[in-house]
Structure 1
């Protein structure tokens, strides 16, 4: 009986010591600068968005004749970039230079403008 009680007390002391060490480590880790935390968060968010199937693009406004008023400039593989003509772009995203994360489906229909390919936006989120 004394052995079981002694073992229980000893176990409790050992477990409580381990908890103190973890709290100390957490405190010292959380003392990082705000800049580092923000940069790491942006990188993680970018990686998460790419892993979820989103692509980063930039909203481009044009008032030239023959151009679509709003297109999304996307990075390309062989070309420097290409343009999408989103048929369902919400008014809240019609800001020239706005970075957006998008998922889209290409459309098999006649182009509304010369430089952009028609696309339907499946999902859109504000970028960095």
Structure 2
């Protein structure tokens, strides 16, 4: 009799715990879908910069660079060593976080960079 009561209460406690997890998963999925809207101010606060993908087929140029706004210069170019295929669209605006790399340049006009995170811009 004691074992039956113990099994009954264990089942109730475990089923309550699984319901809670399902609710949490649903709220997480809803949050993810709302995060797709881009808030430029929030991205800037998080360290993202807005750039533009530039394609070039000229000799000595990297095929894809990212044109970034500059302080003293009008703009500068990054040579992203790990740019995903889905972002290789000429003229596409992107929000990026990047690390500069200390390595030899692959092209004349751009500085090597590793993309830490990238999002489509607007």
Normalised to the residue count of structure 1, the TM-score between the two structures is 0.66
**Looking at CA atoms only, which structure, 1 or 2, has the larger radius of gyration?**
1
| Runs (4+) off by over 2 Å | none
User: How much does 1:86 deviate?
Assistant: 0.1
Pairwise CA distance, 1:58: 0.1
Match of 1:85 in 2: 79
User: What is the CA–CA distance in structure 2 between the aligned matches of 1:125 and 1:46, rounded to whole Å?
Assistant: 11
CA drift at 1:115: 0.1
SS at match of 2:115: strand
The equivalent of 1:58 in structure 2 is: 52
How many residue pairs get aligned? The number is 86
Q: What runs of 5+ residues in structure 2 fail to find an aligned partner?
A: 1-36
Gaps of 5+ in 1: 1-40
2:64 paired residue among 67, 70, 75: 70
Q: CA deviation at 1:73?
A: 0.0
Alignment of 1:83-122 (within 5 A): 83-122=77-116
Distance in 1, Cα, partners of 2:116 & 2:63: 20
Give the Cα–Cα distance (whole angstroms) in 2 for the partners of residues 110 and 87 of structure 1: 12
SS at match of 2:42: helix
State which of 33, 40, 46 in structure 2 corresponds to 1:46.
Answer: 40
